[in-house]
Amino acid sequence: MSAVQDTFARAGVQINRFESIAWRYMRLSGILLIPLVFGHLAIMHVINSVYVIDYEWVIEARWAYLGWRIYDAAMLWLAGFHGALGLRHVIKDYVHNPRWSFALSAAVAAFMVFLLILGSIALIGAPFEPVTGVPPVE
């Protein structure tokens, strides 16, 4: 081992696994999100309209089937991490103060965790049949 390699080894410079995994995740999730998002767009905005989509419709037509819940969960989790990692890159690009950069990245991470928990509660906790007797929201 040369003196230069010794210096690098002592400095503890090793391959950054997190960045490598995050980079691959962005590519894979990006590819998977294309059919998921366009499918979602077609179902919610092209095939059906706001006049059809309501609480009963979501439960009866979609969430009564486990497959649709898995579809929505995949979109939620893939897009959640994809968006957060993307925002992290934007922050790294444009926020040059290390403290602000860390604080904003942490805020994005916290907000993503909140959204994922909220979405997951809805997907797991929603009943498989519409609950009757719920007064309509005015």
Partner 1 sequence: MKVTLRIRRFNPEHDARPYWAEYIIKDVAPTDRVLDLLHHVKWYIDGTLALRRSCAHGICGSDAMRINNLNQLACKALVKDLVKGDHGTIQVEPILGLRVIKDLIVDMEPFFEHYRSVMPFFVNDNPPPDGEFLQTPEQRARFDDTTKCILCAACTTSCPSFWANGTYVGPAAIVQAHRFIFDSRDTAAQERLAVLSQEDGVWRCRTIFNCTTACPRDIEVTKAIAEVKNAINRGGVD
Long-range contacts of 60-66 (CB under 8 A, 24+ apart): 60/129, 60/130, 63/123, 63/126, 63/128, 64/128, 64/129
The yes or no reply on residue 22 touching partner 1 (CB under 8 A) is yes
Using CB under 8 A as the binding rule, the residues of this chain from 73 to 132 that contact partner 1 are 89, 92-94, 96
Amino acid at 85: L
Least separation in angstroms between CB 125 and partner 1: 37
In sequence order, what are the residues at sequence separation of 6 or more whose Cβ sits closer than 8 angstroms to the Cβ of residue 100? none
Q: Give me the least distance between CB of 133 and partner 1, in Å please.
A: 53
Nearest CB to partner 1, comparing residues 26 and 126: 26
Residue 12 backbone zone (phi > 0: left; psi -120 to 50: alpha; other: beta): left
Of the pair 9, 70, the CB lying nearest partner 1 is at 9
From the CB of 77, what's the least distance to partner 1, in Å?
Answer: 22
Which runs of consecutive H residues, i.e. helices, occur in the chain?
3-10, 17-41, 55-57, 66-94, 98-125
Of the pair 93, 138, the CB lying nearest partner 1 is at: 93
Using CB under 8 A, list all residues that contact partner 1: 1-2, 4-5, 8-9, 13-16, 19-20, 22-24, 89, 92-94, 96
